[in-house]
Each structure stands twice: as structure tokens, then as C-alpha cells.
Structure 1
Amino acid sequence: MSFENLKPIVSEIVINDSITREEKLLAICQLLTESVSYYNWVGFYFANHETQTLHLGPYIGAPTDHTVIPFGKGICGQVAVSNSNFVVPDVSAQDNYIACSFTVKSEIVVPLFVNGVNIGQIDIDSHELDPFSEADERFLEYVNQEIVKLF
């Protein structure tokens, strides 16, 4: 399904009053993993600025031991510090990468801002090398703009 076709579905999930915020986030993870063939793990990490750590939120994909990530560590931790999208075409080429699984070949992380503060991020792993494009970045920015409405 195209990103343009997914956008209204994401919006519908966000405005659904019959489910909780956690259920909405999980539904978005499910939608993305089912609709984009190279999105093999989709999840959210949320920032605790006092402890300078990210905490795993809802996700769909293989279980992960990385439930808490210090700011600056790994791709997600770097995004918590940089406040910028991070696209990694080949995770094996990254020095500061936290290996989740040997099947993960690439990753994209897009920060989530509420009132100008980076409160977390959407994190997507792929089993393919270099599948992410600028279209993925723009789509995930849209997803995060919708998710902001939940906070």
C-alpha cells in the first residue's frame, strides 16, 4: 500500500476514541509492518529527560532486550541527542549501533516532537539493505505529526 493511502488510515487510528493511546500506537505499528514489506520491526521509544534515557513503548516485531537506551547510545540514542532523522542504509557500517538481531540490515529513526521537545521517536528496522528513501522520512514525519495529537 502506498504511503499516500496509509496516511488517512493512520489519521483514523489517532482519532479513534474507543481505544487507548497505547492501543493506538500499537495499531499504527501493526499497520506499518503489515503494509510496508521492508518494515520488519516498528516501535516507539519515549524519552525520560531526567534520566537521559529512552524507554521502549508499543512495538511490533521480534522481541528486543533494548527496553532502555541511554541518550547518545545506538541510533535511537543519537536521535534523542541530535533531534534529527537518522537513516542507516547498512547497520554493519555504523560504529555506534546497538545490534538487535543479525537479521537487521538497516534502520530509520524519526524523532517525535511535542511543543518543540523531543519526547521520543519511531524506530523501524529492515531485513533489507538500504530500503529507506526520502519518501519514508516524509511519511514517518507525517505519522509523528499525527501521533503528537495523542499527547
Structure 2
Amino acid sequence: MSEIKKRLSSIIESPNHDTTDKLQKICHLLDQEIPYFNWTGFYFKNGDKEELILGPYVGAATDHTVIPFGKGICGQVAVSNQTFVVPDVHEQDNYLSCSIDTKAEIVVPIIKNGENIGQIDIDSHTLNPFTQEDREMLEWLCGEVAGIL
């Protein structure tokens, strides 16, 4: 995993790209390097509104471009400020289905100055694929991303 972290760091630290480009490149890298990451994207808090708006992502188009706080896994993380790993989305009552192929999801908040400003959302077509290593890497990544937002 450390090789991926090095490559993510070089994207984040690149002086040649704006933040949106960096976020898009992060999504591409994760999508290409981790076979069970089948949809990778960022959602961000929409100003003072209690909702998230879709940012850069890689994967199938989604209807969920705006997600109210509390709704679905992303909306729950916007309220809890805690990483949420869902081994099987069909076991979750409060789940927003993006794709019939999605079987698992992990959402990690991006906290800046104590405030939840967004999150990375990853869907997988594999049941229970996310490891502790994935979680730690994504939590590290969100900490790094907070620094450029």
C-alpha cells in the first residue's frame, strides 16, 4: 500500500495542477490500482446547506449529485463524522443505490479545522472487500486532501 501512498502524495503535492485536477487524478489512481474499487468519488458540503454535492469521480454516472445530510451512507457520514464501512449494502436500510452492481461501500470524511467539509466515497462490486489497510490509507488520504482544500 505504501507505493500507492507515495503516488497519491506526489499528486497532492504537485504544483502543476489545480485542486479539481488533483482530486480527479486521485480517483483515477485508486480506480486503476485497486481492482475492487469500482466507483471512486468525492462529495463536498454545499456551502451552509445540509447537503453534499458531487465532486470529481471515476465510474458510472450517478443520479446522486446532491445528497441530503442523513440520507444514504454518504449522508450518514456527513452527520457522524466517522468512517463508515458497509460490507454488504443490502443489509443497510438507509442505503442509496447508485448501481445494481454495488455490493459494498466505504465512505471516509474529510475533516478540516474540526469541520466535516466532504468525503471520499468508494463503491465495490465485491462483497466485503475493504481491508483495514484500505481504511487506514483512505483516512490518511482524506487528511492529506483536507490540507489542499
TM-score, normalised to structure 1, is 0.96
Q: Which residue of 1 aligns with 2:72?
A: 74
Residue correspondences, number: 149
Instruction: Single out whichever of 47-56 and 104-113 deviates more from structure 2.
Output: 47-56
1:145 aligns with 2:143: yes
| 5+ residue gaps, structure 2 | none
| Cα distance in 2 between the residues matched to 1:51 and 1:90 | 30
SS at structure 2 position matched to 1:121:
strand
What amino acid is aligned across from residue 103 of structure 2 in structure 1? K
Alignment-derived partner of residue 45 in structure 1: 43
Paired position in structure 2 for 1:62: 60
Give the 4+ runs in structure 1 shifted more than 2 A. Answer: none
RMSD, aligned α-carbons: 0.8
CA contact (8 A) 1:14 1:149 kept: no
Equivalent residue of 2:147, what SS?
Answer: helix
Deviation at 1:48, TM superposition (A): 2.4
Question: How far apart, in 2, do the equivalents of 1:4 and 1:56 lie?
Answer: 28
Counterpart CA distance in 2 for 1:48 and 1:62 is: 22
Q: Which runs of 5+ in 1 are unaligned?
A: none
User: How far apart are residue 128 of structure 1 and its match?
Assistant: 0.1
How far apart are the structure 1 equivalents of 2:26 and 2:56? 9
Shift of residue 49, structure 1, vs aligned partner: 5.3
TM-superposition CA deviations, 1:88-132 (whole Å, max 9, x none): 000011000001110000000000011111000000000000001
Within 5 A, what are the aligned runs for 1:1-150? 3-48=1-46, 50-150=48-148
Distance in 1 between residues matched to 2:132 and 2:76, nearest whole Å:
19
Percent identity of equivalent pairs? 54
Q: In 2, distance between residues paired with 1:90 and 1:65? A: 21
CA distance in 2, matches of 1:23, 1:60: 12
* Paired residue type of 2:23: L
Structure 1 residue 134: Cα displacement:
1.4
Separation of aligned partners in 2, 1:49 and 1:94 = 28
